[in-house]
Amino acid sequence: MRERIGWASVPLREVAEINPRKSVDLEMTDAVTFVPMAAVDEVSGTITDRVERPLREVRSGFTQFRENDVIVAKITPSMENGKAAIATDLANGVGFGSTEFHVIRSKGALLPDFIWRFVRQRSFRDEAQKVMSGAVGQQRVPAEFLKSYMVPLPPLAEQRRIVDKSNALIARTSRATAELAQIPMLIARYRSIVLDLAFSGRLTRDLRNQNHPDAGSLPEGWSIRALGEISEIQGGIQVGRRRKADEVLVEVPYLRVANVQRGWLKLDEIKTISVTETERDRLLLREGDVLMNEGGDRDKLGRGWVWEEQIDPCIHQNHVFRIRLKDGTLPPKYLSHFANEKGQSYFFDEGTQTTNLASISKRKVAALPVPVPPWEEAAEISRRIEAAFGWLDRVVADHTTAMEFLPKLEAAIWTKAFSGALVSQDATEEPADALLARQEAGARQSTVSNRRHPKSDPKEIKTMVSRTSLSAVLSSADGWVSGQEAFELCGIGANAATEDIEALYSELRELDINGQIESKPVTDDQGRKLYDRLRWKRS
């Protein structure tokens, strides 16, 4: 693993307040932002549906947060699903929301965006899930878990680079996810178009020496036949019927509605039934039989597929029809594709509905109008449909693989980001230990200021300073100066504006590149670095 220059690993409580106490300097009629749990989108990690309410309506019984706080769901399943967001654009800088939020408020050493990205990691959520407590369905992540969780602390400038780079990479994976989400719809549309072409004769127009007929008419040699004219239709066995005590029964597997899907057979769970030998022989399925559902939900009437003797012997229950085509009429898959695609609206319209169950009669199934081409063309149509659908199945497999890969790619991005391997590092940037020291100094100064001015404006104010250049401070110093002392002599204190801090670091890098300064690390007895000393390089 790459060495993390200037990083530290600290409990989250050292760099952030967890669930800070309520504190708001507003009138009861002033507007604040209200964020219920449902307003936090678990996919984007943003607040998508916020409302404004007067403070008096929400000041009690809700969780308070302020601008740039990170709110994290603590209750199942919202936490596991990734409901966490940065609170921004709040009315009067104040928000209230569900009591099922934990609030994380940076003390200054960690960027809110960095915290948000960290707690949105799947690995973090998995760890949080392990410590949940409470009744089933009401389990919550304790605040102590957040307080004691060890987080990486890079230099502030590197945090910004990590956030910017990860945002750019995740934006690309999000776009890829959105584009891939369109694939199933396109596949379904392609399947439908193939079948439209197949059953109108246009898929095999190259086989005929004639112009394609007008829309709505069939090619020469085709006809419309009722399904009952070209097949034998058989209902199945009634499950649970009473039997005579002296009946001799045999046990045999049978197909239920749940086994007969649209375009495939689900055979992972096959039940058995006791029937007479006569019933078994009459209902035995054989290769090439077309199965269609007789009952169930209305949109599932007539769905089915072709039996290929996967189980022998096997029969079917009364909610599944067996259609056995007459020799020389149609290939079984031609009929099944047609019934699943073009017959679906027919079955829906012709079916009957009771309170909980829809069904279609054998007479209605037999009346299904089917386009019948010459046998050779019907066989070629079946072959072309299977070839096109085979290609689509490969596309589906590739799509599934890609959708499974993207979350792993995002996890890899986070692993690199929070291990120091995602962006470049700069040894001249303010290290974590100095960042923590500045944060602590700022906290002490803020405490003193609050004691002197208890009713001051609660909004955070960054002081723009008129600073002395680092070159002037070091060139006038007599010998080595600690980095912290040099910063203070330049006028950079705990409440300095970010722009001033970055300008000073920029000057420090330039002086180092030009060879105008020297630096020396100060270590403890075990060789661990404490801070850097700086000195002007005399000519």
Please identify which residue in the block is written with the tokens 């100066």.
Answer: 481
As beta bridge partners, residue 133 has 140
**Nearest CA to 58 among 11, 15, 13, 97?**
97
Query: What pLDDT score does 463 carry?
Result: 40
How is 291-329 classified by DSSP, letter by letter?
EEE-EESGGGTT-EEE---SSSS-EEBTTEEEEEEPTTS
pLDDT in tens, 371-383: 999 999 999 999 9
**Residues whose CB falls within 8 Å of the CB of residue 324, separated by 6 or more in sequence, listed in order:** 231, 232, 233, 234, 286, 288, 289, 290
Whole-Å CA distances, 537 to 342, 478, 534? 86, 11, 9
Residue 94 and residue 33 in contact, taking contact as beta carbons nearer than 8 Å: yes
Long-range residue pairs from 496-504, CB within 8 A, at least 24 positions apart, any chain: 496/462, 496/463, 496/465, 497/462, 497/463, 497/464, 497/465, 498/462, 499/464, 500/464, 500/465, 500/467, 501/156, 501/430, 502/157, 503/467, 504/467, 504/470
Packing angle between helix 156-180 and helix 498-513, nearest 10 degrees? Answer: 110
The reported pLDDT for the residue numbered 459 is: 40
Cβ atoms 64, 19 nearer than 8 A: no
The second-level CATH assignment, the architecture, of 8-153 is Alpha-Beta Complex (3.90)
Cβ neighbours around 118 below 10 Å, total = 21
126 in helix, strand or coil? helix
User: Tokens at residue 213, please?
Assistant: 């007929």
Domain 8-153 identical in fold to domain 227-241+248-372:
yes
CA pair distance 204, 490, nearest whole angstrom: 83
Helix (H) or strand (E) holding 10: strand 8-11
Give the pLDDT of the chain (539 residues) as one tens digit per residue: 566 889 999 999 999 999 999 888 899 999 999 999 999 999 899 999 889 999 999 988 899 999 999 999 999 999 999 999 999 999 999 999 999 999 999 999 999 999 999 999 999 999 999 999 988 778 999 999 999 999 999 999 999 999 999 999 999 999 999 999 999 999 999 999 999 999 999 999 988 766 655 556 889 899 999 999 999 999 999 998 888 888 899 999 999 999 999 999 999 999 999 999 999 999 999 999 999 999 888 888 999 999 999 999 999 999 999 999 999 999 999 999 999 999 989 999 998 988 778 899 999 999 999 999 999 999 999 999 999 999 999 999 999 999 999 989 988 998 999 999 999 988 888 898 888 888 887 777 666 555 555 544 444 434 444 567 888 888 888 888 887 778 778 877 655 565 677 677 778 878 888 888 888 887 766 666 666 788 988 76
For residues 22 and 59, give the distance between their C-alpha atoms in angstroms, rounded to a whole number.
9
Given this model, what pLDDT does residue 88 score?
Answer: 95
Domain 227-241+248-372, CATH 3.40.50.300 — does that match? no
Domains of the chain, by residue range, sit at: 8-153, 155-208+373-431, 227-241+248-372, 470-536
Tell the CATH topology of 470-536: Arc Repressor Mutant, subunit A (1.10.10)
State whether residue 197 is helix, strand or coil. helix
Query: What ranges make up the beta strands (E) of 154-301?
Result: 223-226, 231-234, 250-255, 260-261, 264-265, 271-275, 290-293, 295-296
Contact of 152 with 110, CB cutoff 8 Å: no
For 250-265, what is each residue's pLDDT tens digit? 999 999 999 999 999 9
**Nearest 10 degrees: CA dihedral of 375, 378, 383, 388?**
170
What is the model's pLDDT at position 451?
55
Whole-structure pTM value: 0.66
